[in-house]
Chains A and B, each alone.
Chain A
Amino acid sequence: DQQVKQNSPSLSVQEGRISILNCDYTNSMFDYFLWYKKYPAEGPTFLISISSIKDKNEDGRFTVFLNKSAKHLSLHIVPSQPGDSAVYFCAASVHAGGTSYGKLTFGQGTILTVHP
């Protein structure tokens, strides 16, 4: 049962345009959401996060939007650069004690290709 899903396996964008990566989740207990970027032969690296009490968080060219009623979040990259080409993972967590403590649940990733 995949609680976090990224339904687009890949996305191709022209340099300078906007990249929009989408993520859906099913567990209403998730209260933190994160985006990670992964280059080949490297581990995922943290990009940006958002708390469930917010609907937007911005960091430079990266903005994450959260729609709790739709259980949907998206990552916007503006403007896109060729160096942004990577696999992007959406992740979610329940920030509470007990057995879920610290556990991140990941989607299957979206391959972003930014063409010069």
Chain B
Amino acid sequence: DTAVSQTPKYLVTQMGNDKSIKCEQNLGHDTMYWYKQDSKKFLKIMFSYNNKELIINETVPNRFSPKSPDKAHLNLHINSLELGDSAVYFCASSQVQGTTSSGANVLTFGAGSRLTVL
């Protein structure tokens, strides 16, 4: 039973199109995230929602709009896709208080959605 699932896994589309990536977590976590892994392999945070409320919004073009209908779901909608949007997008969730003995905020990631814009 997948803890953090995101769909679709692969997405190939043309420039200018609008697309969405969906994410669901069944861990009961209160916080969800979107990360982008670009061609240089860095994982960079885009958005974070805590109990459906936006708490982190990095410098992301406003063509990207996250939507959290409930705390188990965080979808990412992208308008007017550009070539530079091609990347792997990872959804993640965490229980903000953390679960490790060191108290770190441990994120559980989905398998990623590879977006290719032609």
Contacts and interface: CB of A to CB of B under 8 A. Distances in A.
Contacts of B105: 32, 93, 95, 102, 104
A104 B15 CA distance: 30
Given A32-B103, A108-B41, A46 B111 contact: no
A85 interface: no
B93 to A, nearest CB: 10
A60 interface: no
A115 B103 CA distance: 34
Interface in B75-118: 90, 92, 94, 96, 98, 100, 102-112
A51 B102 contact: yes
Interface residues on B, range: 20 to 34
B27 interface: no
A93 B43 CA distance: 14
Contacts of B92: 43
B102 A109 contact: no
Interface residues on A, range: 20 to 34
Interface in A42-73: 42-46, 49-51, 54, 57
Given A44-B43, A102-B31, A102-B96, A50 B106 contact: no
A106 B90 contact: no
Contacts of A89: 43
Contact of A103 (B4, B56, B98, B106): B56
Contacts of A2: 42
B56 A102 contact: yes
A41 B107 contact: no
B50 interface: yes
A99 B56 contact: yes
B76 to A, nearest CB: 15
B111 A43 contact: yes
B68 interface: no
Given A54-B102, A109-B41, 6 more contacts: A44-B90, A49-B100, A49-B102, A95-B98, A106-B42, A106-B44
- Top 4 nearest A-B pairs (CB, nearest first) are A43-B109, A49-B104, A32-B104, A106-B43
